[in-house]
Chains A and B, each alone.
Chain A
Amino acid sequence: DSGVTQTPKHLITATGQRVTLRCSPRSGDLSVYWYQQSLDQGLQFLIHYYNGEERAKGNILERFSAQQFPDLHSELNLSSLELGDSALYFCASSFSGGARDEQFFGPGTRLTVL
């Protein structure tokens, strides 16, 4: 158990819908990263938050948005869902977000868009 929690574990929805994925970082960690893993592929970086502020964006679609709240939990919002958005979404946390810090991964949320 990494100490990072993600809810829900599984999500099944229809095209055009909107969903929210939630992540709680390890106690004391200030940074949260979101990654997308399509079927049997490597992870793609989506976005990084540090202490409530957006630090970096990766290959995140305009239909996707995220935020980190004062209690440091983070939410990833996916809207106007398409079949291709079906994937495993990981959240990871680290203490400061520095290069040396290990990123601890949550168990992921599996999103299926029908």
Chain B
Amino acid sequence: AQTVTQSQPEMSVQEAETVTLSCTYDTSESDYYLFWYKQPPSRQMILVIRQEAYKQQNATENRFSVNFQKAAKSFSLKISDSQLGDAAMYFCAYRPQMDSNYQLIWGAGTKLIIKP
């Protein structure tokens, strides 16, 4: 069964600094998608960034970038120039490409604290 593991329950970073959140996953599939979602105190789930497994280039969205290591099954999120508004729970999620059930499989989340 596919699983997603986030080993850091909580991380803190000084405002304007860089922080990396870790995510590993287990799958026997070769094609899949990986996602990072942000859940602020409002509880709304917001897509931060997406990576297709067949793409070697790491995805980037403004201050957010990923380090995708397919062989190691690792998918970390780097947040540069951290801002107070980045404080939230961050969830890593996996979705298989070939399965007809395109559900998202979620990690337990990492709480990110931004220190002013």
CA distance A52 to B28 in the complex (A): 31
- In the complex, whether B45 has a CB less than 8 A from a CB of chain A is yes
Interface bin, chain B:
20 to 34
Count class of interface residues, chain A: 20 to 34
Contact B43 A107 (CB under 8 A): yes
**A33-64 interface with B by 8 A CB criterion:** 33, 35, 40-45, 48, 55-56, 58
Kindly specify which of B14-22, B58-66, B73-81, B104-112 makes contact with the partner chain. Answer: B104-112
Residue ID in chain A nearest B101 by CB atoms = A56
| B-side contacts of A2, CB under 8 Å | 44
Complex: how many Å from CA A62 to CA B50? 33
15 A/B residue pairs, CB under 8 Å, sorted by A: A41-B109, A42-B108, A43-B104, A43-B106, A45-B105, A48-B101, A56-B101, A56-B102, A90-B45, A98-B102, A99-B33, A99-B96, A99-B97, A105-B44, A108-B44
Interface set of A (CB-CB < 8 Å, partner B): 2, 33, 35, 40-45, 48, 55-56, 58, 88, 90, 92, 94, 97-103, 105, 107-108, 110
